[in-house]
Amino acid sequence: MIVGDIPFDATRAVSRPVLPEFPDALCWVNRRERLRLTDWRGQIVLVLFWNASSVSSANMLGELRQLEKKMPGAFVSVCVHTPRFMSQQSDAAVLKAAHRNRLRAPVANDGDWLAWKQLSIPAWPTTLLLDADGGLAARLVGEGRTQEIEDAITQLRDEMHAESSAMPPPMPAPLRDVRAEPASPLAFPAHALATRTRLFVSDSGHHRILECSHDGRVLRQFGSGTPGNWDGQLAACGFQLPQGLAIDNDTLYVADTGNHCVRRVRLDAGEVETVLGSGRPAYSNVEEQGGGLRVAINAPNAVAVDGAMLYVAASGQHQILRADLHHQRVETIAGDGRSDVRDGIGGQSSLSQPLALASMPGQLLIADAGGNAIRRLRFADLALTTLVGSSPWEPGRNDGAGRKARLAYPSGVAATENRVYLADTCNDRLCVLDAYSGEVATLQVDYPLHEPQGMSFAAGSLWVADRNDHAILRIDPARGTCERVAVDE
């Protein structure tokens, strides 16, 4: 049992403590008025504490969407966001994160951690289940709890039907009168992968991949534009929240994060097929599942390719995987599954939400976002070392070398022959890294950034997915000049 759980027990119905009211300081970023737990008396309430930079939170939100579809009207969802980084404290930042995660439920900003402390929340994500009288029926920590939640809700509904005092369900509070996001051809793009003549964009919010010219003219679309998981040709296939991209000759690989798999696009024919993953999140090592390509993996966010070898950053399981596509096998080459920054050999090391990969001769560079670090994995002996940063709980914004430098949730890395570029996402900046000395310096650009993420270097330019501005940027690193690529505008 996970530490911090209060499992559901129907025999405790008469002694369930009533959850205290939310603190007055909470701002409901997507509702007109302040909401209270007493507003939902007579209904089962699911309160989810989450964070926008937590992969487990994103997985749990996906589980919640599926549960709402399976049990319509059975419960009320309420989401409370607590920040991990300073950039996540404002109401505007929380609203942006709610849009990116497609949340329609009421979302509260717990910017000062008041509700978190008041309710003794132990970790992200944590789910609280309240009965019709406001009593705490269960507290479940972590993701992968859907069946437990469904079973508890079913029993709580049985309790309600047995009680004649159950109140009629209240009307939901109306949405705040704001547009979800400005109209744009892109929605929260996750990666810009440029080649000598092409630009591929992971249009995550639209669940598709775009093939463009360098000036942004869309040539082809892969994915229907609605979330799904099926193979096919061009737009007749389904992606869900695709993220990282990698290319090898005429084959494009896609980290299909929301579907917990890796897809392959054969560019000559436009065919899309699944090459790794079962479509469900993993909660065990791939070796324990047999090591075939149909094993479950958890939230792949980045891919890199070298011939028949495919490298995958499995963010939800804090590991780097290597898939041999020729022999149809996959293995763990770094990370013991615990969220931490710990150097070592292979499975004796630890990572924390690796989100981006870049290949260099004999090594793999890893943007270890949850660890606020850049790591290097040497292929010869699978030694994982830390180049920049120190731990998951020491973010910052400092240039310098090695552990003296500070980053905040780095989510992009691009390597050239003699330079490495970083997307320091929660600091809204780009950096230059010397991969040998570990020296980091801010890259000055003449354009404001909004959580830059996946990027690449090609045709003398740095191509960056500026996620929260729904934009692809082309940057001249030598001059610091930047232009917005007019994708399909």
| DSSP conformation letters of 390-408 | --TT----B-EEGGG-B-S
Q: Is the pLDDT of residue 169 over 90?
A: no
Assess contact for 431 and 422: CB atoms under 8 A: yes
- Specify the DSSP class assigned to residue 6: B
- For the chain, domains (ranges, CATH) are 10-162 (3.40.30.10), 191-485 (2.120.10.30)
Q: Is the pLDDT of residue 58 over 70?
A: yes
The first and second tokens of residue 350, run together, are 């630890």
Report the candidate in 188, 186, 189, 199 with the shortest Cα–Cα distance to residue 457. Answer: 199
Identify which has the larger pLDDT, 108 or 418. Answer: 108
Identify which has the larger pLDDT, 84 or 170. Answer: 84
Q: How far apart are CA 62 and CA 82, in angstroms?
A: 18
Give the CA count within 13 Å in the CB-facing half-sphere of 452: 29
Average the pLDDT over 413-422 and give the result.
93
Q: How far apart are CA 59 and CA 260, in angstroms?
A: 10
The fraction of the chain above a pLDDT of 90, given in percent, is 90
Q: How far apart are CA 347 and CA 382, in angstroms?
A: 9
Q: Is the pLDDT of residue 214 over 50?
A: yes
Mean predicted lDDT score pLDDT of the chain: 94
Q: How far apart are CA 10 and CA 300, in angstroms?
A: 37
Q: Give residue 343's Cα distance to chain centre.
A: 24
> Rounded to 5 degrees, what are φ and ψ at 465?
-85, 110
Report the candidate in 385, 361, 362, 358 with the shortest Cα–Cα distance to residue 373. Answer: 385
Instruction: Flag the least confident range among 1-15, 17-31, 190-204.
Output: 1-15
Assess contact for 451 and 395: CB atoms under 8 A: no
Instruction: Flag the least confident range among 5-19, 93-107, 389-403, 416-430.
Output: 5-19
Q: Is the pLDDT of residue 467 over 60?
A: yes
Q: How far apart are CA 439 and CA 52, in angstroms?
A: 29
Assess contact for 76 and 40: CB atoms under 8 A: yes
Q: How far apart are CA 178 and CA 403, in angstroms?
A: 42
Q: What is the tens place of the pLDDT at every residue in 85-142? A: 999 999 999 999 999 999 999 999 999 999 999 999 999 999 999 999 999 999 999 9
Assess contact for 298 and 315: CB atoms under 8 A: yes
Q: How far apart are CA 350 and CA 358, in angstroms?
A: 19
> Rounded to 5 degrees, what are φ and ψ at 427?
-105, 0
Q: How confident is the model at residue 13 (pLDDT cuts 50, 70, 90)?
A: confident
What's this model's pTM, rounded to 2 decimal places? 0.95
Measured CA angle at 169 (ends 166, 171), to 5 deg: 155
Q: What is the tens place of the pLDDT at every residue in 252-291? A: 999 999 999 999 999 999 999 999 999 999 999 999 999 9
- Specify the DSSP class assigned to residue 13: G
Assess contact for 360 and 435: CB atoms under 8 A: yes
Task: Please give the pLDDT value at position 10.
Answer: 82
Q: How far apart are CA 41 and CA 44, in angstroms?
A: 8
Assess contact for 132 and 106: CB atoms under 8 A: no
Task: Please give the pLDDT value at position 2.
Answer: 45
